[in-house]
Amino acid sequence: MTSALFTPIEIAGRTFENRIAVAPMCQYSGNDGCASDWHMTHLGMLANSGAGLVVVEATHVERRGRITHGCLGLYSDACEAALARIVAHCRRIGTAKLGVQLAHAGRKASSQRPWEGGKALAVDHDPWPTEAPSALPFGPGWHVPQAMTEDDMERVIAAFAQAATRAVRIGFDAVELHAAHGYLVHAFLSAVSNQRTDAYGGSRENRMRFPLAVAQAVRGSVPRDVALGARITGSDWLDGGIDVDEAIVFARALKDIGYDYADVSSGGLTAEARNPTSPGYNVPLAEAVRHATGLVTRAVGLIVDPKQAEVIVAEGKADMVALARAMLDNPHWGWHAARALGAEARRPPQYLRAGPSLWAPAARG
């Protein structure tokens, strides 16, 4: 039988070898926004994971839009050159196509790395001013952000457009707008974090105004032969927050602008929000968006087992799946998934001797 997970998919004229994506995973290991040798090793490893697509971690469009001092950016020539070096390396040695996620952290910026505590930066740790739709902190003990003016919004829109231009110049196969996890674009979309009373708050149409302006600016910077998508939230898991019906409305608006795909995640809007913990908990959200909009849709969130991923794609719940921690735990997840499903995953010739045709333990699984 042919594996659905290992069937190629075409997006914006680009063919991805299979339906597996490595989700963007912040490494907090950049140098003033610039990718480092850690990214060379990390992304080079994942480029040979057997996935059809590897998406570079949240890459911020402004220096002040970074989550931490270690987060990646694409807001300067130095940032662009550093990331271009990593991408060129991955293309030389890897098999996967490459994407990048463009982001602005909003009120979740100016924070510690997770292993330092993950809280707001203290005064003696070089914090910076944060901004958001409303002057509401992410949670207790977090910085109170500045409510953005229209001039601020225009500045950020321009920054997204410029970062997208840099991403295209680097040569990414896919560009992804981060509109989830409580970061700036998501914060405008949700009535929980957006309590403005002007044209950018209140009604759903108003709350979508700035996010869609960002989306339009990115679309204007990305050629039609580069896959363009967005990570959106399917649920805030909070009373009064975004639910799947609102997610569908936003996804339809993105499709109307010319977006090719949606990656459906959830949660992260406030410090108190708690996601479900069941395997594949976002899959029903992705399925609803896919069926309502016709967009190519990717599911993410506690997808670990190859047979689980196969069922998601085979049953039409999503067109692709994205894995994060499962790939960190097993950087050759795609190879092992192919073996479990009776399929093939491309691997570099240097590693062919460990393949099932040449090594009995691999053939036995």
Q: Of residues 28, 75, 183, 259, which has the active-site annotation? A: 183
Residue 264 main-chain phi, psi, to 5 deg: -100, 110
Give residue-wise pLDDT tens across range 296-305.
999 999 999 9
- Residue 123 burial (C-beta neighbours within 10 Å; 0-12, 13-18, 19+): exposed
pLDDT at 39: 98
Give residue-wise pLDDT tens across range 333-355.
999 999 999 998 888 889 888 88
Question: Cβ(130)–Cβ(145) under 8 Å?
Answer: yes
Give residue-wise pLDDT tens across range 125-171.
999 999 999 999 999 999 999 999 999 999 999 999 999 999 999 99
Mean per-residue pLDDT, 75-104: 97
Give residue-wise pLDDT tens across range 287-326.
999 999 999 999 999 999 999 999 999 999 999 999 999 9
**Within a domain: 320:** yes
**Within a domain: 2:** no
Residue 183 falls in the annotated catalytic set: yes
**Within a domain: 266:** yes
pLDDT at 223: 98
Mean per-residue pLDDT, 208-230: 98
**Within a domain: 170:** yes
Q: Is 324 in a helix, a strand, or coil?
A: coil
**Within a domain: 235:** yes
Question: Cβ(277)–Cβ(302) under 8 Å?
Answer: yes
Mean per-residue pLDDT, 112-129: 96
pLDDT at 364: 65
**Within a domain: 352:** yes
Q: Is 142 in a helix, a strand, or coil?
A: coil
State which H helix or E strand residue 92 sits in. helix 77-93
pLDDT at 222: 98
Question: In which domain, by residue range, is 117 found?
Answer: 9-364
What is the C-alpha to C-alpha distance for residues 43 and 86, in angstroms, rounded to an integer?
8
**Within a domain: 1:** no
Q: Is the pLDDT of residue 358 over 80?
A: no
CATH of the domain at 66: 3.20.20.70
Q: What's the pTM value of the predicted model, to 2 decimals? A: 0.95
What is the C-alpha to C-alpha distance for residues 314 and 29, in angstroms, rounded to an integer?
37
**Within a domain: 137:** yes
Number of domains within the chain: 1
